[in-house]
Amino acid sequence: MRQFNEQPLTTVWRLKKWFFKVGSVCLAGCLATTVFAQSNAYPQKPIKLIVPLAAGSAVDNAARIVMQKVAANLGVGIAIENQAGAAGLIGADRVAKATPDGYTLGGFNDSIMTMLPNMQAKMPWDILKDFEPVSLVATVEWGIVVPIDSNIRTVADLIATAKKSPGQLNYGSGGNGSPQHIAMALFAAQSGVQLTHVPYKGATQAAVGVAGHEVQVAFQGIATVSSLVKAGKLKLIAVTTPKRLAQFPDVPTVNESGLSGFEFNSWFAMMAPAGTPKPIVQKLHAEIAKALADAGIKEQLMGLGLTPRGTTPDELAGDLRVQFAKYGNLIRQANITAD
C-alpha cells in the first residue's frame, strides 16, 4: 500500500516541477519580449529634458546642440526646460521624482551630481541611487574672466590685488555650490587669497555681472563666456586646462601664470530617473553616441569650448562614484560650504 501511494505522488511532484520550469521560461520570455517591444516602440511622444541651470549656460548650450540631433534621429520633439535655482537642486529633484518611462530626462553638470551633495546636510535625492546614468556628453573647459577694462590682466595681478585688499574683490558664481563657486574657492585656498562670493541665479547671469562691473572676477565655462569675450565685453585672463585652448591660443593657462598645478574643468551628463527600463536607457545612450559622432555636432561643441565625451551608462556610473568621492575630499579639506 505504501509503494502504491508513493509512485503517483512522485509523478505528480515531477509534473508540477516540470510545469513550473516551463512556466518560468515562458514568463521570462514574455517579459523579455514585452520589454524589447516597449524599447523598440520608444519614443512614441515628445521627451522633456530638464536642465537645472540657466539658459545660455555651458550645459544648456551643449544640451540644445546634441539633443536637437537626437530628436531628429528619433523623429520626436525634445523640449528643453530650464529650471535654475538652488544650484540645480530643484530641477534635479523633479527628474528624480518623475515617472521612469524615458520621457523625462535630466541634463546635469558635475556640480549637481558630485559637488552639491557633498555640501548639503540633507538632500531630497541620492545621486547614486535615484538616477539612471545614460551618457557623459561633454567636458566644459574653464577660464577666469574680468571686465574688459579691468586693471587685472593676469593671474598674478589677481592674486596680488586680492592679497593687497583681503576680501575686497568680489567674484560671481552661478549659485552656492555651483562649479564657479567651487573653482574660485579652490583657487583662493591654493593661492592663499580672500575673496567675497556673490552668488547669482545662474552662470550666464554671473558672466553678465562681471561684464557689467557688478563683480570683479569669475571662473566660467568657456562655452558660457566665449561670445562675450569675442565681442569685447569680457577679458579672459587665463584658462584652467593643462594646455592652451586652440580657440584662444594667446591666453595662458593658470599653471603657466604662476599657480602651479591648478587645473579645473567640469562635465555634462544625461541622466534618467531610477527605474527607467534598461533597453530605453541603452537606446538613449546609442542615440547620444550617434549624435556625438557627427562631424557637425563635434565642430559646434568644440567651437564653444566643449569637448565631446560619450561614455556607456556603466562607465558614467563608475566615473560618478569616483568624482563624488574626489570632490567630497576636496570640499572637506578646503572647508567649502554651500552658505
Q: For the chain, how many structural domains are there in total? A: 2
CA distances (Å), 96 to each of 277, 320, 322, in order? Answer: 15, 16, 21
3-state secondary structure of 300: helix
Residue 35 pLDDT greater than 50, yes or no: no
Domain boundary among 199, 223, 239: 239
Domain boundary among 223, 239, 255: 239
CB burial of residue 169 (10 Å; 0-12, 13-18, 19+): buried
> Phi and psi dihedrals of 136, rounded to 5?
-70, 140
CB burial of residue 307 (10 Å; 0-12, 13-18, 19+): middle
> Phi and psi dihedrals of 336, rounded to 5?
-90, 135
Domain housing 151: 141-239
Residue 90 lies in a domain: yes
Residue 132 pLDDT greater than 70, yes or no: yes
**CA 176/CA 20 separation, integer angstroms:** 57
Residue 195 lies in a domain: yes
The whole-number pLDDT of residue 12 equals: 46
Spatial contact of 125 and 92, defined as CB atoms under 8 Å apart: yes
Domain boundary among 221, 239, 257: 239
Residues near 96 by Cβ (< 8 Å), separated by ≥ 6?
A: 124, 125, 130, 131, 273, 274
What average pLDDT does range 34-58 have in this prediction? 81
Residues 150 and 80 in one domain: no
Spatial contact of 236 and 229, defined as CB atoms under 8 Å apart: yes
Q: Which pLDDT tens digit goes with each residue over 185-229? A: 889 989 999 999 999 988 899 999 999 999 999 999 998 899 999
Q: Which three cell numbers stand for residue 11?
A: 509523478
Residues 152 and 135 in one domain: no
Residues 121 and 145 in one domain: no
Residues 282 and 224 in one domain: no
**CA 68/CA 62 separation, integer angstroms:** 10
3-state secondary structure of 91: helix
Residues 205 and 229 in one domain: yes
Residues 148 and 230 in one domain: yes
Residue 182: how many CA atoms within 13 Å on its side-chain side?
A: 28
Q: Is the pTM of this model over 0.85?
A: no
Residue 57 lies in a domain: yes
How many CB atoms are located within 10 Å of the residue 171 CB? 28
Residue 309 lies in a domain: yes
Residues 132 and 150 in one domain: no
The whole-number pLDDT of residue 87 equals: 74
**CA 292/CA 139 separation, integer angstroms:** 12
CATH of the domain at 148: 3.40.190.10
Residue 105 lies in a domain: yes
Residues 165 and 82 in one domain: no
Residue 263 lies in a domain: no
> Phi and psi dihedrals of 256, rounded to 5?
-65, -30
CA 206 from centroid of its chain's CA atoms: 19
CATH of the domain at 113: 3.40.190.150
Residues 186 and 129 in one domain: no
Residue 23 lies in a domain: no
Residue 100 lies in a domain: yes
Residues 130 and 146 in one domain: no
**CA 142/CA 148 separation, integer angstroms:** 18
When pLDDT is cut at 50, 70 and 90, the band that residue 292 belongs to is very high
What average pLDDT does range 251-269 have in this prediction? 91
Which of 49-53, 127-131, 334-338 has the least mean pLDDT? Answer: 334-338
Residues 145 and 234 in one domain: yes
Q: Which pLDDT tens digit goes with each residue over 152-185? A: 999 999 999 999 999 999 999 988 778 898 899 8
Spatial contact of 152 and 237, defined as CB atoms under 8 Å apart: yes
Residues 146 and 176 in one domain: yes
